Amino acid sequence: DNLNNAGNNNQQVTVTLKSFNPVYRVVMLGPAGVGKSALTDQFMTSEYIGPTDNTSIDTEEEKIITVQLDGEESTLSFIDPEDDEVDLDETKVDAYIVVFSSNDRNSFDVAVETLHQLREELATDKAIILVANKIDLARKRKIDIEEARSTALKYDCKYAETSAALNHHVDELLVGILSQIRLKQNPELL
Ligand code: GDP
Ligand code: MG
């Protein structure tokens, strides 16, 4: 009887420790057509995906993966809202990926407005990465790297250039957002 009880207690401890592994919530922002869903789909195929499979809880607007980085597994939930009217003031959000299309000036203006809202109006200090997507359309490019970079700097964001279509630099974006989240949670790593 005593032995049985001890065994049960051990199981209890295991379950409790596992539940401490948090789910980091990342919101994909940007106007329709910039490639938010394409990027999220590519995240799901990353070579950084860890052994724990969470895909059974995926929905149309929320996709969950585990990422193995620096010997540690983290669970990331990507919120990819269908419409533009996202409630930004989400206390449960850990990071934002603000996407624009590098061949579309209007989408860049929307992204800048979003950065302004996040940093100035909501005064969030959460991790934000500004992403220029569709850089495969190089000849149609409207926003050059200097302008995008200096905008990211102004709003204390990281900057990335991706092509979801070619799966170019998408892994770097995934690793980048997780690194930023970990740094915010553990400032002593800085
Ligand atoms: P969302 O509305 O932001 O979710 O955008 P989608 O992911 O639905 O993409 C909108 C369109 O852009 C689709 O036709 C995609 O195939 C296309 N697209 C997405 N990413 C890229 C990219 O990196 N390069 C190119 N050329 N097209 C892309
Ligand atoms: Mg979409």
The C-alpha atoms of residue 101 and residue 132 are separated, in whole angstroms, by 6
Q: Kindly report, residue by residue over 136-146, the tens digit of the pLDDT.
A: 999 999 999 99
Q: Per DSSP, what are the bridge partners of residue 34?
A: none
Please state the rounded mean pLDDT for residues 147-171.
Answer: 98
> Hey, whose CA ends up nearest to atom 14 of ligand 1?
33
Which atom of ligand 1 is nearest to 163's Cα?
23
- Ligand nearest the Cα of residue 41 is 1
The closest-lying atom of ligand 1 relative to the alpha carbon of residue 32 is 2
pTM: 0.89
Mean pLDDT of the 56-60 span: 86
Instruction: Note residues around ion ligand 2 (Cβ under 5 angstroms).
Output: 36-37
Strands (E), the chain: 23-29, 62-69, 72-79, 95-101, 127-133, 158-161
Torsion angle in degrees (nearest 10) through CA of 7, 8, 11, 12? -140
Ligand 1 atom with least separation from CA of 164: 23
